[in-house]
Structure 1
């Protein structure tokens, strides 16, 4: 039987058909627009997300030969993006606040100044930052007129995109444990909403979804012409980690999508970071609870989009590789990619992007290469933080649209001095959701068996650069970054 994966990303929503051995037999995609009503604000139309998702899903169901040919549905999604809706009408009450949004930076800073961050991290594994969903919920209640009165009426439902899609598909208000763990409201070890955290952020627990496993009997939908089981649901970064087969302690993956997200499994032991990384839930399947250490960088592929759409330096993403190869170095240019603040391990929501070292000798190719190098250095910074937390990467598996760039894959290996492996098929996020759905539907005997059966082959990049050159590049980056952080 075929598995239908609904992959709701930041810039597009897709539906993919996977066979039980991991082969992709169909894909459909629609763009999802974002709006930027004020500096630092990022919003999307939640109803448009659902309509796009339903559209590509219906297209793939027809491609498969009808609902009877779909054995299971798996869902994966951009995490932390918040939707508020009315339970009775099923309609969104406000624009979705996207994970990139920084409007609650002052509120998070006030909570941090009041000394609450240690307690938040101890319980949820997360830090006080606008990235996470809890402060977005409070903002909606305080500032959006259609949300403000909903808690008293008992109509308010909050949820991330998985929860929103699950509601539209089944009518149930649920969130899988991986997505729930990103709200800064869940007790990471108990797997339930924490009353003290809800009180701290001023979020009514009645508005929160039921937390469910990431695989198993998660509901059924009749939206596509017949009853289909939903048997997998997972946040995109956990999905990519599973889809890369990184379930054991020390195994690490990095996804280069809109942002850069690195996770290293810690197995059944919850990690506690001393270097401002995040503890997150990797897998909950009813029998196992696996954890991971995570580093989140807000800018990766969005840097290439800026080069193309805003700066006009390239006509296509693919052009960045040839331009980076056309020059020997970055011409003395360093770009600090803090377009929406800096994420891990710095967590500076107040930072702005900057370009350093401009001279009349700088060419377009130098700027493009410096932009790619900024992504490499950001990943190397994460690797150093992981190592300082006793979770050093012995090798790194990479995925995401940006990593199709061979120059970038090699530069990562060079700057981190480790083997970098890229799957022959980079659809790791969708594959992880398919693995969970296949396990939940009984097509494979558990998640580990699904991973073993559906994992693709890999190509490897070994370090080539001279150690002195590596050290010089890293030292220059650190020096300029430290100046920018002051």
Structure 2
């Protein structure tokens, strides 16, 4: 009857569907890999399940076209080879990002880093963990690249950008670290600073040579503390058995076997002559540093050596920049007066000053901005450094339990219209530019019974903006240039409350790029320039303008309110001075 015929048709239809299922599934194989690469799109498959699914489909369909069984067609991935890798080793996390020729992020892998706090004011990292994290991120980024159907051979070079000043020493023969890395914000060497200043004529004794004041911040002072504290390490160094480097040197050594650094990292040690771009014998002698332990200084964009093992074996490491200088290159701040501010663990504002170093009268640092090639001129910058920014939000989350996740800070801050008169000076490890007060300590002022945790969270965000405004004021005094707009980057820039208040307290426009990986992009651009992916500065600027679509935050605060708020902030800051004698 009709019912029986209908049942037979359903059965036939179901059998036909089952027969065609492998071919239908195979047709969608390219989409699986693509979903994981599309910005803002989440695949329902995990990376491991994704790969397993591909293997099952291939094995069950031996008659499928050979190319489809091994990789996704390149044209369908949406990315344009050749590619350039960027290793971004920051204070709180490590990332490996692969960019295409148009500056798009192809794949990214990230791993959080463990901080070690042995005593108040001390901060360390295990150098073995640093390189292990880098290797992990490289492996994961390359796996994702291959899932998209691309080969490692399409990666033409790798750039490195890193947390600066963090100090690593290791055994020349074994390659094993002799001490944990002492992180840039560590202040254990304050007595060392006092001794150096007293012995050599004050905190600015070496500024004309290296551009920097004597401070706990810089690698040379950390190295001297290590030698003073561990005479057995000094003895090994004097016998030529020790290697020293900032994090970039440690990574390049482990990846390529070469002991090198670049000018942007070397200039943060206090041991490099800023104009000669060479280690300064006199300064090294006064710091008690044997020059045999120092890495060779190179430009920021040249081939240092090929990677010796792992998924990127044979690919050259072709660029190296300190993270803040790398952000300048990522923003293509190639003209005198161009500036950027990075909001990461701390805040770092740099302004390009051209081919000659400019020395500050207002507490700023003179530094190398970049040198894009061995025969290219070095470009210099003035820099203002703020110790506590994103790490302050972490403190509110981890220590005070005001937040469950750092990303909540914007929502919590927006739940109140203002700080209720609260000012938060996060001088956890002293104050950097423009004050340079190592004895300052954190303070929250203006508390009343009305105050809630939301007011304190908002006050911390405003403190980051106030500290940046202090640095901007100093840069304008030194340069004579009125800042009307400022490019920004870093994780904290995702917080609109911070960006809005930053524009208000500066009385200037804040420009936030849609592509947030500007620091990593800078190292990739430099590496790509070194290996010929891009031919010149103009091509770098084209990539940057196509990639970094900016959102603009305009100032809405009137002049009198801005002046009043800044006066209260300055009063709060002064109350934190010399808490530690």
Bin of the TM-score, shorter chain as denominator length: over 0.9
**Farther off after superposition, 364-373 or 295-304:** 364-373
Which of 494, 498, 501 is the matching residue for 1:404? 494
1-structure distance, mates of 2:536, 2:505 = 37
Alpha-carbon distance, 1:241 to partner: 1.1
2-structure distance, mates of 1:136, 1:246 = 31
Q: How high is the TM-score relative to the length of structure 1?
A: 0.97
Alpha-carbon distance, 1:350 to partner: 1.2
Q: Structure 1 residues 363, 177: CA separation in 2 closer, same or farther (over 3 Å shift)?
A: same
* Cross-structure match for 2:529: 439
Which of 245, 249, 261 is the matching residue for 1:175? 261
**Farther off after superposition, 350-359 or 156-165:** 350-359
Which of 114, 135, 140 is the matching residue for 2:226? 140
Correspondence 1:41 to 2:122: yes
The answer to whether the Cα contact below 8 Å between 2:419 and 2:456 also exists between their aligned partners in 1 is yes
Per the alignment, in what secondary structure is the counterpart of residue 280 of structure 1?
A: strand
2-structure distance, mates of 1:287, 1:417 = 36
Alpha-carbon distance, 1:146 to partner: 5.8
* Cross-structure match for 1:234: 321
* Cross-structure match for 2:190: 105
2-structure distance, mates of 1:113, 1:146 = 26
Q: Structure 1 residues 468, 27: CA separation in 2 closer, same or farther (over 3 Å shift)?
A: same
2-structure distance, mates of 1:317, 1:151 = 42
**What CA deviation, in whole Å up to 9, does each residue of 1:147-206 have, x standing for no partner?**
233113311100000000010011111001110010000001110000111011111111
Per the alignment, in what secondary structure is the counterpart of residue 53 of structure 1?
A: helix
2-structure distance, mates of 1:62, 1:222 = 18
Q: Structure 1 residues 190, 37: CA separation in 2 closer, same or farther (over 3 Å shift)?
A: same
* Cross-structure match for 1:121: 207
Correspondence 1:461 to 2:548: no
2-structure distance, mates of 1:208, 1:73 = 23
More helix by share: 2
The answer to whether the Cα contact below 8 Å between 2:204 and 2:212 also exists between their aligned partners in 1 is no
1-structure distance, mates of 2:317, 2:495 = 34
Per the alignment, in what secondary structure is the counterpart of residue 433 of structure 2?
A: coil
Alpha-carbon distance, 1:482 to partner: 2.2
Correspondence 1:340 to 2:395: no
**Farther off after superposition, 76-85 or 327-336:** 327-336
Correspondence 1:420 to 2:510: yes
The answer to whether the Cα contact below 8 Å between 1:158 and 1:209 also exists between their aligned partners in 2 is yes
Q: Which has the higher contact order (CA 8 A, sep 6+)?
A: 1
**Farther off after superposition, 349-358 or 387-396:** 387-396
* Cross-structure match for 2:473: 384
2-structure distance, mates of 1:403, 1:453 = 21
Correspondence 1:83 to 2:168: yes
Per the alignment, in what secondary structure is the counterpart of residue 68 of structure 1?
A: helix
Alpha-carbon distance, 1:222 to partner: 2.6
1-structure distance, mates of 2:172, 2:423 = 49
Alignment of 1:161-172 (within 5 A): 161-172=247-258
**Farther off after superposition, 356-365 or 135-144:** 135-144
Alignment of 1:162-311 (within 5 A): 162-225=248-311, 226-284=313-371, 285=373, 286-311=375-400
**Farther off after superposition, 457-466 or 412-421:** 457-466
Alpha-carbon distance, 1:392 to partner: 3.7
Alignment of 1:14-33 (within 5 A): 14-33=95-114
2-structure distance, mates of 1:329, 1:454 = 36
**What CA deviation, in whole Å up to 9, does each residue of 1:39-69 have, x standing for no partner?**
1111110011001101111222233235322
Alpha-carbon distance, 1:82 to partner: 0.5
The answer to whether the Cα contact below 8 Å between 2:109 and 2:137 also exists between their aligned partners in 1 is yes
2-structure distance, mates of 1:204, 1:392 = 44
Per the alignment, in what secondary structure is the counterpart of residue 332 of structure 1?
A: coil
Query: Structure 2: where are the runs of 5+ without partners?
Result: 1-81
Alignment of 1:147-162 (within 5 A): 147-162=233-248
1-structure distance, mates of 2:405, 2:560 = 33
* Cross-structure match for 2:451: 362
Alpha-carbon distance, 1:448 to partner: 4.4
Q: CA RMSD in A?
A: 1.4
Alpha-carbon distance, 1:224 to partner: 2.2
The answer to whether the Cα contact below 8 Å between 2:258 and 2:304 also exists between their aligned partners in 1 is no
Q: Structure 1 residues 108, 48: CA separation in 2 closer, same or farther (over 3 Å shift)?
A: same
Alignment of 1:464-475 (within 5 A): 464-475=556-567
1-structure distance, mates of 2:242, 2:341 = 35
Q: Highest CA radius of gyration, 1 or 2?
A: 2
Q: Structure 1 residues 129, 392: CA separation in 2 closer, same or farther (over 3 Å shift)?
A: farther
Q: Structure 1 residues 392, 209: CA separation in 2 closer, same or farther (over 3 Å shift)?
A: farther
1-structure distance, mates of 2:357, 2:525 = 23
2-structure distance, mates of 1:199, 1:452 = 46
Give the count of matched residue pairs.
486
Q: Structure 1 residues 99, 164: CA separation in 2 closer, same or farther (over 3 Å shift)?
A: same
Per the alignment, in what secondary structure is the counterpart of residue 245 of structure 1?
A: coil
Alpha-carbon distance, 1:267 to partner: 1.4
**What CA deviation, in whole Å up to 9, does each residue of 1:260-305 have, x standing for no partner?**
1000001112111001100000111221211000000100001110
The answer to whether the Cα contact below 8 Å between 2:509 and 2:554 also exists between their aligned partners in 1 is yes
Per the alignment, in what secondary structure is the counterpart of residue 351 of structure 2?
A: strand
**What CA deviation, in whole Å up to 9, does each residue of 1:306-337 have, x standing for no partner?**
11111111112222112222222211111111
2-structure distance, mates of 1:82, 1:451 = 33
Which of 535, 541, 544 is the matching residue for 1:451? 541
Per the alignment, in what secondary structure is the counterpart of residue 149 of structure 1?
A: helix
Which of 131, 145, 152 is the matching residue for 1:64? 145
